[in-house]
Structures are given as structure tokens and as C-alpha cells.
Amino acid sequence: MPRASRARLKQAVLVLLALSCTAHAADRLEIGSKRFTESYILGEILARSTGGEHKPGLGNTGIVLAALKAGSIDVYPEYTGTIAAEVVHLPKATLEQLNAALARQGLQEGVRLGFNNSYALAMRDDRAQSLGIARLSDLARHPELKLGLSQEFIGRADGWPGLKSAYALPQPPAGLDHGLAYEAIAAGRIDVMDVYSTDAKIERFKLRVLEDDRQYFPRYDAVLLFRADLPQRFPQQWAALQKLEGRIDERQMIRMNAAAELEGKSFGEAAALFFGEQTTGKRDFMGTLFGADFWRLTGEHLVLVLVSLAASIAAGIPLGIAAAKLPRIGQVILGVVGVIQTIPSLALFAFLIAAVGTIGILPALIALFLYALLPIVRNTCTGLLAISRGMRHASLALGLRPGQRLWLIELPLSAPAILAGIKTSAVINVGTATIAAFIGAGGYGERIAAGLALNDNVTLLAGAIPAAALALIVQGAFELVERRFGWLKWIDGSQKGSGAAG
């Protein structure tokens, strides 16, 4: 690559990085939420009450807690039982003991919102009645039952491990997204699922909440978990948050959950009920697709794709050259980038959050950069190795030095293969970038995560279709470049002709 081209590429990367950081530069209250309906709604209430920015659906407790400790968010709605078991590991702690343990982590718990949302297990009422099951202890008599539990519940200290021990339950559970479990239990694919006591779908799907006859589950009072310096950094917003103390009762929370899950309202519209605002209508596809967040999500998605792609081009082409020119390390390079491609996306995101100490755009860009390497490295290496002996001999006859042969002869001849690798990486990144929303990086994945939480196809498609359309646009843009610069095809054709002659 000529020096001028490399300079322009470097400038482009810097510009895109600057754009990606612009939205995060302002010092304002950052509010997080987990990836289930109630947390989304509470996050919207906190944002409207304080004027802060809501980063929705960041994932499970571990990811949101990591974001809070790293300062990526300042506050998020949590539950006392979860704080005791998962954050400070003191299952029967008092409020004073909780805050003393939290203080050592730079955190604090406060502002009890007014309702308890406990974990429970539920079955279809007709199925439970036919088997004579009313209590959790009754499950031990029916090892044939199929349990579909959320992944977080399966892994939590106050979830399945402790529950299984307390009730001697013999059934092996299957991991299932909470929003999808309702459809699965209605269809009879599972018999038992975990629920929250404020779930609006419990009544709709005619479920029986099983009695916790051994009092395993503690109270899960809704509270705010926040950084200890929040009251000093944001005194006005803190005063607004304190006004929420005791303002939301269980019935009101169920009503807001029902507005989102059963009536087709957005999370913002469901939260509006708390402020006494009534909304009409329900989610429609076109309205959701081109909603107020469309251009913001498009910009965030483009930044994720373009910045990571530019970085992978800058690193991938030199790695491909090294793999072709240095056979001893070539297989190592190709092996490493190949293994990276096999790592599950969420696992890599979780690892990078721990490695860089934050959520959001930085770990997402690193992950996308790594995923984009394989096609570029492999195609660069393959393109260079495919150059015919005749062309290599001709360049030697011209008396060119190795570096000149690479820049003036070999890379231009390999350009079609390299461009094909870049195109493949770009299309892959458009799809993979949707998963970045699960760690607060934005993009079309926000809608997909919300659609999963609601089990709502309209919201899912409003995120999936723009991502698919963007992938087609990216592919079309590369095809246009190839047609516009016909010399790429001419080079490819001349190379094949020379290979036949050689």
C-alpha cells in the first residue's frame, strides 16, 4: 500500500473514532437497565425523572454491575435479593450490612421504589392441577417434568443451584430466554419456567405460581444501585431520584409491564403511565421501523462497522503479507485468526468487558475488529500466493527490490482477492454488530434485544430488517467499486492468462 494511501486510511480511522466518542463526551447521568421488560421500563422512568441518558438492555447482572463499577453508568434499578446474593454475597444481610459491603466497592443502595418482585416457578394451571402440583416441594415427585429456565437464573447463587438443593429437585433444566419461555410453556414444550411476581403474562398464559413452601426466595424489593459519588456529582438529579421513593406499587408495575408486553406499547410509552400520561394505539411495523431512534441507531451501527473494518484492513493486510512471505509463521497467523472466528460473540464480549474494564463501544469495536480479520488475512495471503511464476520472474527481470515488487506488482495483482476479503468482512461485521447492543454499544441490535425481551416480532423485525438492508447496501457498494474500477478485473484476467502461459 502506498504511503499516501496509508496516511489517508489512518486519518479516516481517527475521524471515525472521534465520531464514535462524540456521543459519550458529555458529562451527564448515565442510567443502565437489564435485558427484561421491567428493567427497561424502570430505566425509562429514571431517565425521564432526571433528564439522564438511558442505556437500555445491557445484559444480565454481571454485565450491568461491571458497567456500574467501571463508571460507564451511574445508576440502575436492582433488587435487594439480587444485591445480597450476587453483588455482596451476603444472602441474609440487613440494609446496613448491604451498604457497608457495597461501600467497599464504591457503590450504594437506596431509594426503595415501593414494590417487591420476587422470583418464582410457574406451571400452566391445567397441567399443575392434573398432576396435583401446588408447591415447589411437589416438583420433586415428578422427575419427568421439563424445566425451561433463564440462563441468569440457572447461574445465580440465589437461583437454580440453591433452589435445587433446598427442594432436592431431580430435573435437569434447559436454558431459555425469559421472553420466549412463555410461548414455550403455552405450547407444551416445557412444563415449568421461572417468573417474576410482577410479570404481566402470568395471568394471560393462565399460569399457576407455585408456593415457595420452604421460604427459599428472599424479598426482592426494587431499589436503585448507584455509584457512591452520584449524589455529589449530580445533586439535582439525585434529588429527583429521591422523589421516587415508594412511588411505584406492585399493581402499578404489573400495569406498566402489561402495557409493554400485552398492549404493544413501547417501553417509553409504558413508562409514561407512571407520569399519568395515556397513550393510544400499539406498535405497528412502519412506525417502529422509522421511529425516532432510527437515525441514531443507524449512525451507531455505521460507526461500529466502519471503524472496526478500517482497523481490520490496517492490520489484516500486513498480517496476510506476513503469512504469505514467511511460511514458518504463516500457519500460526492463519490459525490464530481462524480460532478467533470460532469464539461465540457474547463470550468474547464478556471477556473484553473484563479486559478493558468498561462496556459500550470500546469492547464492541475490539471484538468486531478481531472478527473481521480472518477473511482479509486469508484472502491477502491467498492472493499473493496465487501470483503466477511468470509474473514473479518478470518482476525479477525488471530489477525491482523486494519492497518495490510487493507494492508495485504483487499487491496490485492481489487486489481482487483482497477486496473480496474486505467485502466479506464488512458484511459479516454488519450482522455481528447487532450483538454489540447487548453490552450497550447501540446500533440496530437495541431493537433486537428489546424484541427478545418482549417476545415481539414487530420490534425484532424493526432491528433485523435494517441490519439486513445495510448488509445488502454494503455488498452493493463493493460491487459498484469493482465495476467502476474495471482495472481490477483486467488485472485478474491478465494474471490468469499469465499463469496459463507460465
CA torsion sign for 427, 466, 303, 443 is negative
Sign, CA dihedral 420-426-429-434, equals negative
Tell me the three state secondary structure of residue 200: coil
pLDDT of residue 236: 95
SS3 content of the chain, % helix, strand, coil (to 5): 65, 10, 25
| C-alpha cell at position 154 | 440457572
Three-state secondary-structure class, residue 123: strand
Q: What is the pLDDT at residue 281?
A: 64
Assess whether the region 119-209 and the region 292-501 belong to the same CATH fold.
Answer: no
Secondary element (H or E) of residue 247:
none
The residues with which 75 forms a beta bridge, in sequence order, are 31, 226
Question: Grid coordinates in use for 454?
Answer: 418482549
Q: Checking DSSP bridges between strand 53-55 and strand 30-32, what pairing results, if any?
A: parallel
What pLDDT is recorded for position 14?
Answer: 45
Instruction: Report the top-level CATH class of 292-501.
Output: mainly alpha
Read off the C-alpha cell for 80.
Answer: 435487594
- State the pLDDT at residue 489: 52
pLDDT along the chain (502 residues), means of 10: 48 46 61 93 97 89 87 94 90 83 94 94 95 96 95 88 95 89 93 93 91 92 96 96 96 93 90 86 80 91 95 95 91 94 84 81 93 95 85 69 81 89 94 87 90 83 94 91 62 48 40
Query: Would you give the DSSP letter of residue 165?
Result: H
Q: Residue 492 to residues 54, 326, 394, 479, 486: CA-CA distances in angstroms?
A: 51, 24, 17, 15, 10
Cβ neighbours of residue 488 under 8 Å, at least 6 residues apart?
A: 415, 416, 419, 482
Residues 463 and 443: beta-carbon distance below 8 Å: no
Sketch the domain layout of the chain as residue ranges.
26-116+220-282, 119-209, 292-501
Q: What is the DSSP string of 386-453?
A: TS-HHHHHHHHHTT--HHHHIIIIIHHHHHHHHHHHHHHHHHHHHHHGGGGGGGT--STHHHHHHHHH
Q: How many CB atoms lie within 10 A of CB 375?
A: 24
**Which CATH architecture fits 119-209?**
3-Layer(aba) Sandwich (3.40)
CA 352 from chain centre, in angstroms, equals: 12
How distant, in Å, are the alpha carbons of 193, 205, 280, 311, 432 from that of 40? 21, 22, 20, 33, 23
Give the model confidence (pLDDT) of 386-395 as tens digits: 887 777 767 6
**194 membership: H or E segment, kind and range:** strand 192-196
Classify domain 26-116+220-282 by CATH number: 3.40.190.10
**Amino acid identity of 71?**
G
